[in-house]
Amino acid sequence: MIRILTTAATEFRIALRNRWVAISVVLMVGFSLVLTLAGSAPTGGLGVDRLSVTVASLTSLSVYLVPLLALLMSFDAIAGEAERGTLPLLLTYPIRREEVLLGKLLAHLGILALAVVLGHGMAAAVSILAESGSVAGLPALWRLSWTSVLLGATFIGAGYALSSLSRRPSGAAGLAIGLWLGFVVLYDLGLLAVIVADNGGWFTTRAFPVALLANPADAFRLYNLSASAAASAASGIGGAAGAIPLWQSLLSILLWPLAALLAARAAFQRVTP
């Protein structure tokens, strides 16, 4: 346990000096504030409180930003050590490879959680100050926060796996960007294209819900939007959200971090320094 903690403390210190802590917090807080302030306009017509509407916007923000921050922090984890030449020495120490990964995860996830909590906290503070009825949106915001951390864990694990596979930071960075584009941007576009072509056939009714659950980013969006009172205020995914039971998207959110970390472990075990 002490080995995991000292690894986490050292990684956190490095992230602090490399400005990753500052970058993550500034991005999350900045975007959250912008969305909170800009999202205030449509509240009147929807009949929901201000914070609930903001949560819908923050969900869309988190889907893009949390995986990106997670990958940016994690892609260097193994490949960077290999390139600097610090990996062989580390692996002769009495620390298991799982402990190395868990230590790094603890630090990186901690930073991400800090950024999420500060960002969402700001959004809540601003909303409640402007309109006391916004307190009604707090449960949704809380749900968004912890699912964001789980989404981050998924992409941090994926980043470690890519980092172990590519062995070089430049290669790992490329793979990380590819993964982000694939899961967060192109996946939905692809689904949309198939649905349009399918025109209400087998894919739309049967395969589409499974395809949404199979992507951690989509499962995250589904869970938060279908659980939130602001589902109707959100994007077109709201319709699909209604068709998929809540427990299924929750299960996807819970299983993905485990799967990603197991993949990272398997990839790291195969690294020979």
Q: Which residue ranges make up the site for another protein (CB under 8 A)? A: 2-3, 6-7, 9-10, 13-14, 17-18, 84-86, 88-89, 91-95, 272-273
Instruction: Kindly state the smallest distance separating residue 13's Cβ from another protein, in Å.
Output: 7
Instruction: Kindly state the smallest distance separating residue 260's Cβ from another protein, in Å.
Output: 25
Instruction: Kindly state the smallest distance separating residue 266's Cβ from another protein, in Å.
Output: 18
Nearest to 228 by CA among 148, 136, 158: 136
Q: At 47, phi and psi to the nearest 5?
A: 75, 20
**Smaller CB separation from another protein, 34 or 89:** 89
**Smaller CB separation from another protein, 13 or 206:** 13
Instruction: Kindly state the smallest distance separating residue 80's Cβ from another protein, in Å.
Output: 9
**Smaller CB separation from another protein, 5 or 255:** 5
Angle CA 216–218–223, to nearest 5? 95
Lookup: tokens for 100:
């190395």
State in Å, rounded, how far the first CA of the chain is from the last one: 24
Lookup: tokens for 94:
């009495």
**Smaller CB separation from another protein, 7 or 215:** 7
Neighbours of 38 (CB within 10 A): 10
Q: Cα(95)–Cα(51) distance, rounded to whole angstroms?
A: 45
Nearest to 214 by CA among 165, 251, 177: 251
Instruction: Kindly state the smallest distance separating residue 4's Cβ from another protein, in Å.
Output: 10
Neighbours of 269 (CB within 10 A): 12
**Smaller CB separation from another protein, 1 or 129:** 1
Q: Cα(65)–Cα(261) distance, rounded to whole angstroms?
A: 20
Instruction: Kindly state the smallest distance separating residue 249's Cβ from another protein, in Å.
Output: 39
**Smaller CB separation from another protein, 7 or 226:** 7
User: What is each CA distance from 92 to 89, 98, 272, in whole angstroms?
Assistant: 5, 14, 12
